Amino acid sequence: MDQQVPIVRRLAEDVVNRIAAGEVIQRPANALKELLENSLDAKSTNIQVTLKNGGLKLLQIQDNGTGIRTEDLGIVCERFTTSKLEQFEDLTKISTYGFRGEALASISHVAHLTITTKTNGALCAYKASYKDGKLKAPPKPCAGNVGTIITVEDLFHNIATRKKSMKSYNEEHLKVVEVVSRYAIHNPLVGFTIKKLGESLTEIKTNQDSTHIDNIQAIFGSTISKDLLEVNDYCNILKVKIKGYVSNPNFSVKKQIFILFINNRLVDSQGLRKAVDQIYSIYLAKGSHPFIYLSLNLDPLNVDVNVHPTKHEVHFLHEDKVIDKVIDAIQDKLSGANTSRTFYTQTRLPTNDISKNESNINIEIKESEKLKIINSPSVSQNKMVRTDCSEQKIEKFLSKSDTSMLMLGKSQTDDVIKRREIKLTSVLSLRKEIENCCSEVLQTIFQNHKYVGAASPTWSLFQHDTNLYICDSNKVLQEMFYQIMMYEFGNFGVIKFSNSLSIYELILIALELSESGYLNGEDKPKEELAQDATEILVSKAPMLNDYFSIEIDSDSNILSIPLLLEGFLPDLDGLPLYLLRLASEVNWFNEKECFLSFCRETARFYVVHPWKQQCNDIDDISDAAPDRNWTWNLEHVLYPSLRKSFQPPKKFLEDGTLLKIASLPDMYKVFERC
């Protein structure tokens, strides 16, 4: 039996129009965006929006623009009627918002639409109601001010499925408010107001002739203003002008605030959004995002504005290059937010002729990366172990040494070094290993801990929530410095020595130490071993300088070492042994193993402190006396850094690195039995 061939039919005009309307007007926020753009095209300087039930029951927009001519009211709601275009070629140079003539037509097919308008010089205003793009009756004269009032009632009253798909009135209301807030930020010369019907309080109110900063403060709060950086750049090759404001590394939010206008049109760009997040991931803690407001002006000939029914997306030529240019402009601002500084301190190197004279150490911070600290969540008072960092610390009850605090000199500005992106597969692989081994449970604990004090040089106490933990500081800090080495790879600051130091003589000093493992009478004299080690490091000098800020001159002298953490100077007594271990313990023949072992050794050097010189076992200093300088660094520099972007490995849960020693709720249970 032959199957019946389906017949192709022409859809009825009202069905066609309703389908088209559903593409353009997807929710109240889409309708409001179209109406806002019409008001801005009409040169309005004041726009008021009124809502009921998130815009589904009532959505009204009133402006003081040029208005609509009375003779145009008859066709203003018909499809493809517009004052912005005459021929298709005009799309290539369009600079207005509502250019396709679909907004009012689409709204009239899915809602009850009323327009009240008056032009300058007209004797009165006129009011007209529409259904399916047609006038219900001839326009009627009425009282009114110059401008236009568009009232949309019962949106989607004839599309039950669309209306049911709206999640809640409150959610739709927030989306409308979001659209108004973004246009208010981008158009500071226009005053915007939005409120619910019947309420006197406004949710957003911006003044006419304000500034971008004023409106950002009005919408997102005044605290954001001190953390904003202005972006202003132009590329003559790409013909793109970049303006806007972005937050510095001291500001972050849990939900990304990304506001993008291209040729004054509110759009989205997933590529640019991801690129921005990637840049800020260097500065912000995991799960934190920046504030971004950007306005890009491109040559209209390079932009296709007609690719999406709601005009939410645009396509433009050389998109990847434009995004790279925008990212470069943001990166320049972020780098410029951290000035270069120089500190001075006096220190002595280990016992040898080279160290008898005090060496003036010049610490030059090329780039200071400041990450946002995630504060501990507040808990009720009866559950707190420690609530105030000014409370007494455990160090009060321990012995103290007379080691002086690190003295920092006056800051001075130097050239800002642009951060470079590292794309080495080996480094990216090692970073991925860190991320894969990270324990989310431990990360939460370290991000939100409250430091209590150092129980010994190796063990420290801190509180998280209602639990008290004891932590092996050596293991944790070595892991932290290793991760800094990986994520700051190729972008380190520099600790410069004012006097060059002989690598050969430093390694000779190291070979005298028991920690070196060298025994007199071995196959080679220590002088030969020192010479071999020196030659290894000198042969790697270009790479060491490029990637790790270790500068070695032609006379085999070391001039600088990397600065890993601003405000923290490693103990230079460990420098000889560090250089020896770099020569002997680093795998120089495999790129990934080389970077892994080099970064591990550098992290180890950064954790070595003066107590280790007092002990026979370099890894067991638990019985040494605490030192005031070290404990101050633990509390004010090192442990605060763990709150930023530290990714503790899962092995810390199993190897005794972190132990819970008290739980306040459990203690309460014991007291309740007494």
**So what's the pLDDT on residue 222?**
80
Largest distance between two CA atoms of the chain: 112
Which ranges of 309-403 does DSSP label H, i.e. alpha helix?
A: 319-336
Query: Which range is least confidently modeled, 329-343, 348-362, 616-630?
Result: 348-362
Query: Which range is least confidently modeled, 117-131, 149-163, 388-402, 476-490?
Result: 388-402
d(CA 25, CA 535): 72
- Find the helix or strand (DSSP H, E) in which 547 lies: helix 541-548
Ranges assigned E (strand) in 76-188: 112-118, 125-131, 134-135, 140-142, 147-153
Percent of the chain with pLDDT over 90: 36
Tokens of 656: 């005794």
d(CA 404, CA 71): 86
| Helical packing angle, 103-110 and 28-41, nearest 10° | 140
Confidence of residue 345 (pLDDT cuts 50, 70, 90): very low
DSSP string, 375-421: PPPP--GGG-S---TTSPPGGGGS----PPPPP-------PPPPP--
Question: Which are the contacts of 541, defined by CB distance < 8 A and separation ≥ 6?
Answer: 551, 552
**So what's the pLDDT on residue 16?**
57
Average pLDDT, the chain: 78
- pLDDT tens for 480-524 read 999 999 999 988 888 888 888 999 999 999 888 888 777 665 667
Confidence of residue 166 (pLDDT cuts 50, 70, 90): confident
CB-side neighbour CA atoms (13 Å) of 219? 30
d(CA 168, CA 53): 9
Tokens of 240: 């793109």
Query: Which range is least confidently modeled, 122-136, 316-330, 342-356?
Result: 342-356
- pLDDT tens for 373-409 read 233 333 444 444 444 444 444 444 443 333 332 333 3
**So what's the pLDDT on residue 83?**
52
Confidence of residue 282 (pLDDT cuts 50, 70, 90): confident
| Helical packing angle, 28-41 and 169-186, nearest 10° | 30
Confidence check: pLDDT of 65 > 60: yes
- Distance, CA of 227 to chain centre: 12
d(CA 635, CA 644): 14
d(CA 282, CA 287): 12
d(CA 242, CA 296): 5
Q: What are phi and psi of 660, to 5 degrees?
A: -85, 125
Confidence check: pLDDT of 357 > 90: no
Tell me the β-bridge partners of 196. 51
| 406 three-state secondary structure | coil
d(CA 301, CA 90): 10
d(CA 112, CA 107): 8
Question: Which are the contacts of 89, defined by CB distance < 8 A and separation ≥ 6?
Answer: none
Enumerate helices (H) and strands (E) in the chain, giving the number of each.
19, 24
In contact, 104 and 77? CB cutoff 8 Å: yes
What's 487's DSSP letter?
A: H
| Separation in Å, CA 487 to CA 526, 640, 652 | 36, 18, 21
């006096």: which residue's tokens? 346
**So what's the pLDDT on residue 85?**
44
Within 10 Å of residue 653's Cβ, how many Cβ atoms? Answer: 13
Within 10 Å of residue 654's Cβ, how many Cβ atoms? Answer: 9
**So what's the pLDDT on residue 102?**
72
- pLDDT tens for 443-478 read 989 988 898 888 877 889 989 888 889 999 899 999
**So what's the pLDDT on residue 13?**
62
- Find the helix or strand (DSSP H, E) in which 581 lies: helix 575-585
Question: Which are the contacts of 524, defined by CB distance < 8 A and separation ≥ 6?
Answer: 532
In contact, 454 and 394? CB cutoff 8 Å: yes
